Structure 1
Amino acid sequence: MRTILLILLAAAAFALMPTIVGGGYFINIAIVVCIYIILASSLDIVMGWTGLYSFAHAAFLGIGAYTAAILGRDFGTTFWINLPMGMIVAGLFGFLLGLPLLRAQGHFLAIMTIAFQTIVYLVLSQWTDFTGGQYGIEVEPVAGFTALSSFFYLVLAFATICLIAIRLLTQSRLGDSLQAIRDDETLARTIGINSKAIKLVAFAISSSFAGGAGVLLAYHIRGVTPDDYTVLASATVVAMVVLGGRGRFWGPVMGAALLIVLPELLSSLAEYKHVFYGAVLILVTMLAPQGLAGKFLEWRAR
């Protein structure tokens, strides 16, 4: 409950940004930070708590975004229908992806997720009649939330709900099963944990949250194009989790905030942000392999 209270206090403090800062540029950055916090925290369910490396999270981000865009274009549905539908469709794809990955481990698993990410990108970019190809699909703003500040509050509320849900999940019996599989899957099976079913659930939940983030991103940038959902985008989310600390609740939050805000502060290096991400990962791996959150806990213990 202390962590949930901290989430609510942090969200309340973050909600003051439009009144304190007031500029659209800073609010825009805050919206992107919230979306990537959802992405990084949801990836950590698979990567940190279950110990499965996945480089396909941007694919689920794109599946959620394109689900919302296509439903709005073809059926005229609203955001309040598109958001849960984007989560459901992305979660279904995550479940289906998990089926062939049950026997894969280590770098084989990573390679298979990269292959899935590539397939999704090719479908989005080449199936022109359905997805719009490289031209993408335009997305109308959320009715009642057309102002940037009001949309920020909507995104912040969804991010807060997601973080609370992830916290409750990781502290439940399911979370204990995820950690048991991560630490020693053979031992977990021995004590009666159905590791295959738990992995499928982890993939489905993780991809579902990513799909929700994709819907929010589509409405924020008012459209979808396949170049926003590449393997580099997935690698960026992985970098956020590694930087913040895998398997630690505040780790992905810290990693997402830093890797979104720092390139903006160093705007002259914006074109080299992927080089920047790589350099940060190398330094963290060398100096703090447990991530920033783990380093902080170690420092506090000392």
Structure 2
Amino acid sequence: MKAGLSLLVAAVLVAAPFLTGGYELQVLMVALLYVTLTTGLNLVSGYAGQFSFAQGAFYGIGGYTTAIMGRDLGTGFWINLPAGIVVTGLFGLLLGIPALRLKGHFLAIVTIAFQTIVYLGLIQWSGFTGGQNGILVPPIGAVSLFGATLFDITGLTAHYWLTLVFAVVAVWVAWRLVHSRLGREWVAVKDDETLAGAIGLDTTRAKLTAFVASAAFAGAAGVLNAHVMRGVTPDDFTIWISCTVVAMMVVGGRGTFLGPIIGAVLLTILPELTGSFAQYKLFLFGVLLVVIIIALPEGLVGRWRKSREARA
């Protein structure tokens, strides 16, 4: 069943550029970007159990890294991408340090404060970030090898293929991390940090690496988004982005692998199907989140997993 569903999803994604219009393709691109963001957040919040509302800030740091490097250094996407991942990873490390002492809602408050600081910094440091006007970012352009152009990434379809590849790679990397020794350490810390430390696990390393990995995912998505959207502004990376990503993770099922992916796709596409009610997206998100927390606290995938285990 899983294999059949995976093939169906793959077929839909591959066929999308040939069967849909430009608007639908843009919605799918946004959904794929959210898949990367939510998958990254799930590593630190779902598997390591560290509450974070800072994914939007890391998303913005990645976007502004490529924008500022391109403006001041003249570098392109393929150089800015690893730079954006490294920079956001370092910020994730800095944010992870308070996680060594704080837990639960105290840690959540710190991450909200970090999100706010980053947003205000993008606005106030106008000489460096462009302030409210933001920074224009050129398209990715031609990809060459030994002077020969292999392909050109400028149009909507080309950006869609690149975003799809990014999401697939992000999901694959997350899968490898979750099923590695490090991933098992994250789960052990979430289940019982005291016991994990007592049996010899380095809980400090586990929590810090979770924050770094989560930030790196968001940074990569931010770099790609900046080039796809041809620019960055502070309002693209507000606390609402972080709240949306958290909602996607919770609705889909935090601590499950497929849950955040399903949540990201569902909460991206659902508002587009509500017609005139799309303007109430945040309200709908709030209502849906409350309903899920009350009725399905383990999320959609978590409830499905429990039902399957009960029938077995």
TM-score over 0.5 for the alignment? yes
Pairing partner for 2:196 from 185, 188, 191: 188
Aligned equivalents of 1:27, 1:116: Cα separation in 2: 33
Aligned to 1:235: 243
Q: Contact 2:50 / 2:99 at 8 angstroms: preserved in 1?
A: no
Aligned to 1:87: 85
Q: Structure 1 regions of 5+ residues with no counterpart?
A: none
Pairing partner for 2:124 from 123, 126, 129: 126
Aligned equivalents of 1:74, 1:169: Cα separation in 2: 35
Does the alignment pair 1:289 with 2:297? yes
Aligned equivalents of 1:43, 1:107: Cα separation in 2: 16
Pairing partner for 2:164 from 156, 161, 170: 156
The offset of 1:283, in angstroms, is 0.7
Aligned to 2:101: 103
The offset of 1:295, in angstroms, is 1.6
Aligned to 1:41: 39
How high is the sequence identity, in percent, across the aligned residues? 51
Aligned to 2:149: none
Aligned equivalents of 1:3, 1:201: Cα separation in 2: 30
Aligned to 2:134: 136
Q: Contact 2:99 / 2:207 at 8 angstroms: preserved in 1?
A: no
Aligned equivalents of 1:8, 1:93: Cα separation in 2: 37
Aligned to 1:20: 19
Aligned to 1:174: 182
The offset of 1:11, in angstroms, is 3.8
The offset of 1:71, in angstroms, is 0.7
Residue aligned with 1:193, SS: coil
Residue aligned with 2:47, SS: coil
The offset of 1:267, in angstroms, is 3.0
Residue aligned with 1:299, SS: helix
Aligned equivalents of 2:56, 2:229: Cα separation in 1: 16
- Specify the code of the residue in structure 2 equivalent to 1:63: I
Aligned to 2:283: 275
- Specify the code of the residue in structure 1 equivalent to 2:257: F
The verdict on how the C-alpha distance between 1:103 and 1:136 changes in structure 2, with shifts beyond 3 A counting, is: same
The offset of 1:175, in angstroms, is 0.9
Q: Contact 1:8 / 1:160 at 8 angstroms: preserved in 2?
A: no
Aligned equivalents of 2:154, 2:5: Cα separation in 1: 29
The offset of 1:270, in angstroms, is 2.1
Aligned equivalents of 2:136, 2:55: Cα separation in 1: 22
The offset of 1:271, in angstroms, is 2.0
- Specify the code of the residue in structure 2 equivalent to 1:77: T
Does the alignment pair 1:211 with 2:219? yes
TM-score by length of 1: 0.96
Aligned equivalents of 1:175, 1:15: Cα separation in 2: 30
Aligned equivalents of 1:225, 1:279: Cα separation in 2: 29
The offset of 1:212, in angstroms, is 0.4
Residue aligned with 1:93, SS: helix
Once the two structures are overlaid, the 10-residue window that deviates more, 227-236 or 4-13, is: 4-13
Aligned equivalents of 1:200, 1:91: Cα separation in 2: 10
Aligned equivalents of 1:142, 1:266: Cα separation in 2: 33
Q: Contact 1:101 / 1:112 at 8 angstroms: preserved in 2?
A: no
Deviations 1:218-245 (A, max 9, x none): 1121110001111111111000000000
The offset of 1:300, in angstroms, is 2.8
Aligned equivalents of 1:113, 1:193: Cα separation in 2: 25
Number of aligned positions between the proteins: 300
- Specify the code of the residue in structure 2 equivalent to 1:298: K
- Specify the code of the residue in structure 1 equivalent to 2:221: A
The offset of 1:108, in angstroms, is 0.4
The verdict on how the C-alpha distance between 1:5 and 1:42 changes in structure 2, with shifts beyond 3 A counting, is: farther
Aligned equivalents of 1:157, 1:186: Cα separation in 2: 39
The offset of 1:5, in angstroms, is 10
The offset of 1:275, in angstroms, is 0.8
Q: Contact 1:47 / 1:53 at 8 angstroms: preserved in 2?
A: yes
TM-score by length of 2: 0.93
Aligned equivalents of 1:5, 1:166: Cα separation in 2: 22
The offset of 1:116, in angstroms, is 0.5
Q: CA RMSD in A?
A: 1.7
Aligned equivalents of 2:84, 2:257: Cα separation in 1: 25
The offset of 1:120, in angstroms, is 0.3
Deviations 1:26-54 (A, max 9, x none): 11011111100000010000110011110
